[in-house]
Chains A and B, each alone.
Chain A
């Protein structure tokens, strides 16, 4: 008696050419999968390789140490204390990352505060209230929005939006965290919307019927039954959108003013992590401490978005299991 495992295709004893062909193709297919894995590793290794001197190279440490990157320094005078300064190109280079962190945070915050409610409301409307034809129209519209290159959004923010917003709200600076944040919101809206819409759409119809049968109004059903059930998915959208916003480059490079200021003022120009790399790497001396610090920033961005994406994927998984678990 022989037991045969399924899905094993034995090709022994047949024409050798075919057998060889089969093995070659299979090897190529598996190789492609390995290439996909190695790409993400290569990104990590080759960005990390240029970032590593920031941690270990004495030559780099002569100009900048880890402490200077993150901890408060005494750059100013006792009357005007300057504790965080990003000024890598100067006689006495200063490499405080704090202004860049703060700038990134401010722009991202504005973008998320605008995009999140908008995307969730729109997703609720699409899945719960919109008639079929409208639903089929909204999706391509959002896909179109997602298809706008970020350089075009950056251009629009720089040329049109910034002027309009300054006139409307009387900002001191034409380019600032709020303007860049609004433009960035347009970039993260599609991903937030798509993930939230998927999550809401995956909630079983029986939930809605149960709520409606208990006398809940359509909005109460959507708000108190459907949305809470889909919450991990909606949250995943927020996390993924956050990851996208932190890494987005061209919009902030063009619309944020790029001044590395350390303050909590939102109507001021800001410089983000990504924009700093984009603006400075092309002009930096290869192998200089500045060069390695820029790669270090890239590695930080990579790590942060990696964690955010991983978390987002986990949340989507959890939602799927949660809904499946309840359904069966």
Chain B
């Protein structure tokens, strides 16, 4: 994709990893702090007392075998779990130092600040334009048609989709290819200018070329956003992220800078997982 990118080997993983990942460990305070977060579905514990920092303008990957609670953890960060009946959450999630689980927290405002992209591209069956404009309209963020046009264009440019769709903005979003749909969903999430972007296996339903485009996109986006990505694809985590959290049965096994976690894992279970011994 980007020929100027140099790569370096991760011996354990047998993949090459972009060295744009984690240039240096951040010294800033975290954008989001997860403190002994537990998520229960009825009796089942999906996330078990996880404590984790998520640093500003970096990409944090959450990996682990399927069913380990990755998605539940991610969805706890913008309280999407609230939409599922029977989910109980305890612990704290601090966004800029404020607990999003305090009673009286404005969930709607929270979700505007913490955007989300889902595993399956889920554009609304509306036009491309209306998809991107949706969040702006419902949140009353724009005051004129010109402003709306401008914000839609900016979001589509940020998602590297503008050139492909600028001539057919009024066409149905469902006519786009899967990769285009997913970038549209990213554009839709970006349009409301969130501070944090949560991505739940954003490329798992896509072909390799579309996946590469999305990953490329993430590098440019992290200048402005804090990104958390859930993936079951370790290579992907290694390629794009700066920090990686490894989850097993809902519990956090290891959280470290990505190069370290993949080259020199601190926990034997991490090593077992990334070398493909289970999962």
Which residues on A are within 8 Å of B, measured CB to CB?
1-15, 18
Contact = CB atoms under 8 A, between A and B. Distances in A.
Interface in B85-143: 85-92, 99, 101-109, 140
Contacts of B85: 6-7
A6 B86 contact: yes
Contacts of B88: 3-6
A2 B109 contact: no
Given A7-B83, A7-B85, A8-B82, A2 B99 contact: yes
Interface in B51-85: 79, 81-85
B108 A14 contact: yes
Contacts of B107: 9-11
Contacts of B79: 4
A10 B89 contact: no
Interface of B: 36, 79, 81-92, 99, 101-109, 140
A2 B106 contact: no
Contacts of B108: 9, 11, 14, 18
A163 B81 CA distance: 68
A6 B104 contact: no
A2 B82 contact: no
Contacts of A15: 140
Contact of A1 (B82, B83, B90, B105): B90
Nearest to A2: B101
Nearest to B81: A6
A6 B91 contact: no
B102 A2 contact: yes
B90 A13 contact: no
12 contacts: A2-B102, A3-B89, A4-B88, A6-B88, A7-B84, A7-B85, A7-B87, A9-B108, A10-B103, A10-B106, A11-B106, A15-B140
A8 B88 CA distance: 11
Contacts of A2: 90, 92, 99, 101-103
A14 B90 contact: no
A15 B87 CA distance: 27
A10 to B, nearest CB: 6
Contacts of B36: 1
A93 B99 CA distance: 79
A24 to B, nearest CB: 16
Contacts of B104: 10, 12-13
Nearest to B109: A14
A13 B109 contact: yes
A6 to B, nearest CB: 4
Given A1-B92, A4-B89, A4-B101, A12 B106 contact: yes
Nearest to B84: A6
A7 B82 CA distance: 5
Nearest to A13: B106
B106 A1 contact: no
Nearest to A9: B107
